[in-house]
Amino acid sequence: MDKIKISAVSYTNTKPFLYGLQHTAILDKIDLSLDNPSDCAQKLIDNRVDIGLIPVAATLDLPEWHIVSDYCIGADGAVDSVFIFSNCDISKVKYLQMDPQSRSSNYLARVLLKNHWGISPLQLVNADDYSVSKDEQTAFVQIGDRTFGKRDKYPFVYDLAEEWKRLTGLPFTFAAWIANKPIPDIFIDELNISLKYGLDHRADLFKELPMRDDFDIKDYLINKIQYPLTEDRKKALFLFLEYIKALN
Ligand SMILES: C=C(O[C@@H]1C=C(C(=O)O)C=C[C@H]1O)C(=O)O
pLDDT in tens, 150-179: 999 999 999 999 999 999 999 999 999 999
Give the separation between CA 43 and CA 13, rounded to whole angstroms.
Answer: 20
One domain, residues 94 and 158: yes
| Predicted pLDDT of residue 128 | 98
Sheet containing strand 156-159, strands side by side: 122-124, 95-97, 138-143, 82-86, 156-159
Side-chain-facing half-sphere of 6: CA atoms under 13 Å: 26
In a domain, 40, yes or no: yes
> What is each CA distance from 87 to 13, 84, 92, 133, in whole angstroms?
27, 10, 10, 10
Domain count, the chain: 2
Question: How confident is the prediction for the chain on average, in pLDDT?
Answer: 98
Span 225-247, pLDDT tens digits:
999 999 999 999 999 999 999 99
Mutate to test the pocket of ligand 1, among 14, 35, 104 (most ligand atoms within 8 A of CB): 104
- Whether 79 lines ligand 1, by a CB cut-off of 6 Å, is yes
- Mark out the alpha helices in the chain (DSSP H runs): 15-22, 37-45, 104-112, 160-168, 185-200, 202-208, 217-219, 231-245
In a domain, 64, yes or no: yes
Q: Which residues pair with 35 in a beta bridge?
A: 9
In a domain, 118, yes or no: yes
In a domain, 228, yes or no: no
- Whether 107 lines ligand 1, by a CB cut-off of 6 Å, is no
In a domain, 179, yes or no: yes
Which of these, 228, 215, 164, 243, lies nearest to 17 by C-alpha position? Answer: 228
* Cα-to-centroid distance, 177 and ligand 1 (Å): 13
One domain, residues 86 and 160: yes
- Whether 37 lines ligand 1, by a CB cut-off of 6 Å, is yes
One domain, residues 102 and 217: no
Percent of the chain residues topping a pLDDT of 70: 100
In a domain, 239, yes or no: no
User: Closest ligand 1 atom to the C-alpha of 57?
Assistant: 9
pLDDT classification of 186: cutoffs 50, 70, 90: very high
pLDDT classification of 248: cutoffs 50, 70, 90: confident
Which of these, 232, 201, 149, lies nearest to 24 by C-alpha position? Answer: 201
| Predicted pLDDT of residue 246 | 98
Which of 135, 168, 201 is the last residue before a domain boundary?
168
Structural domain range at position 202: 4-72+175-221
Q: What is the CATH number of the domain that holds 200?
A: 3.40.190.10
In a domain, 212, yes or no: yes
One domain, residues 130 and 151: yes
Give the separation between CA 144 and CA 85, rounded to whole angstroms.
Answer: 13
One domain, residues 62 and 185: yes
Span 85-118, pLDDT tens digits:
999 999 999 999 999 999 999 999 999 999 999 9
- Whether 42 lines ligand 1, by a CB cut-off of 6 Å, is no
